[in-house]
């Protein structure tokens, strides 16, 4: 797979392929699996994403600690100014997947479990615009995978290494490129959508209450989906981000490497270290320990 998104985009443009189609061909060319096997694995991922959204939307799940649950249903049934749009559908779907994750349901790590809501949120939110075939969705997932593979090599996909910018931030960049692919946009537009999205998530810290993948993770998936939609909208309108996407990704890696350890999944800083964050974590963890005895 590619180690430069700029190179991948150049090759895709030269060969007249979408970014997702290039990803599918490159994955099969790497020789470990045939194209059919790659597509079958992504089809299963797509099916699990749909099931997770359907499981989360009714709003009856509670997380292991009891801190989160029911917010996907609130947003889906909300009466805000954007109710009924792709935007709201994406937020609700992203929340639904993360609520399922927090309740020990089945999800697809994309790229991680903590950021698993963003990609299905954006793709299945966008597919409410008009009917989209599974083949198109699978191609979009492959585009997301290509972006994630580049981020894995150039920066990081782990909150413990790079903060939340490496989890929901990377997921948002992946979802932005995938969303452009899904809508038939060009590889260049996909790369700009990714850059425009990730510039907005740079520096985002990983500060989960009690170290649990609940607060703020569930909500960060929704705001991550919103960032991706912003990147898609700007890129498809012709906005071009001046810094090449590879350099934006490198910047994320550099910020992650110099980020204080308090902000890297240790619950030592950020929201986790607020008076209320500490109090909630103390109460819930004590409760959990009691439950296990």
Which range binds another protein by CB under 8 A, 145-153, 182-190, 194-202, 220-228? Answer: 145-153
32 vs 237, beta carbon nearer another protein:
32
Cα four-point dihedral sign 14, 20, 26, 29: negative
Among 9, 12, 19, 23, binds another protein (CB under 8 A): 23
Work out whether 182 is an interface residue with another protein (CB under 8 A). Answer: no
By CB under 8 A, which span of 7-15, 95-103, 220-228, 247-255 interacts with another protein? 95-103
Binding of another protein by 268 (CB under 8 A): no
Partners of 264 in beta bridges: 206
Of 68 and 205, CB closest to another protein: 68
Sign of CA dihedral 97, 118, 179, 257: negative
- 178 φ, ψ (degrees, to nearest 5): -65, -40
Query: Which candidate, 116, 101, 125, 104, places its Cα nearest to that of 45?
Result: 116
The radius of gyration of the chain's CA atoms, rounded to the nearest angstrom, is: 18
Task: Pick from 8, 9, 45, 96 the residue near another protein by CB under 8 A.
Answer: 45
Q: Token pair of 42, please? A: 């992504």
CA 144/CA 138 separation, integer angstroms: 10
123 vs 229 by CB, closer to another protein: 123
Please give the structure tokens belonging to residue 19.
């970014």
Residue 223, Cα to own-chain centre: how many angstroms? 10
Q: Counting contacts by CB under 8 A, is residue 269 touching another protein?
A: no
DSSP class of residue 261 equals G
Least CB distance to another protein at residue 124 (A): 14
Residues that bind another protein (CB under 8 A): 1, 23, 27, 30, 32-33, 38, 41-42, 44-45, 48, 63-65, 100-114, 116, 119, 141-142, 144-146, 148-149, 152-153, 157-158, 160-161, 174, 210-214, 267, 284-285, 288-289, 291-292
């Amino acid at each position: 797979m590619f180690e430069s998104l700029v190179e991948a985009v150049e090759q895709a443009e030269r060969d007249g392929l979408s970014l997702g189609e290039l990803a599918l061909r490159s994955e099969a060319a790497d020789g470990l699996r045939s194209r059919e096997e790659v597509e079958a694995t992504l089809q299963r991922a797509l099916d699990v994403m749909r099931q997770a959204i359907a499981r989360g939307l009714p709003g009856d799940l509670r997380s292991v600690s009891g801190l989160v649950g029911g917010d996907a249903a609130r947003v889906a049934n909300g009466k805000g100014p954007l109710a009924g749009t792709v935007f709201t559908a994406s937020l609700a779907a992203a929340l639904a997947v993360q609520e399922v994750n927090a309740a020990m349901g089945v999800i697809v790590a994309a790229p991680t479990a903590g950021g698993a809501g963003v990609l299905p949120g954006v793709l299945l939110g966008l597919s409410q615009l008009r009917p989209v075939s599974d083949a198109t969705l699978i191609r979009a997932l492959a585009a997301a995978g290509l972006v994630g593979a580049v981020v894995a090599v150039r920066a990081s996909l782990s909150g413990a290494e790079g903060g939340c910018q490496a989890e929901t931030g990377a997921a948002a960049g992946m979802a932005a490129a995938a969303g452009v692919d899904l809508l038939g946009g060009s590889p260049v537009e996909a790369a700009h959508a990714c850059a425009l999205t990730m510039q907005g998530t740079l520096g985002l810290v990983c500060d989960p209450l009690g170290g649990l993948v609940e607060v703020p993770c569930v909500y960060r998936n929704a705001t991550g989906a919103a960032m991706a939609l912003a990147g898609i909208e700007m890129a498809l309108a012709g906005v071009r981000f001046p810094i090449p996407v590879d350099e934006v990704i490198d910047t994320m890696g550099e910020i992650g490497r110099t980020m204080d350890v308090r902000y890297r999944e240790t619950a030592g800083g950020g929201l986790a270290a607020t008076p209320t964050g500490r109090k909630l974590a103390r109460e819930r963890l004590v409760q959990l320990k009691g439950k296990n005895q």
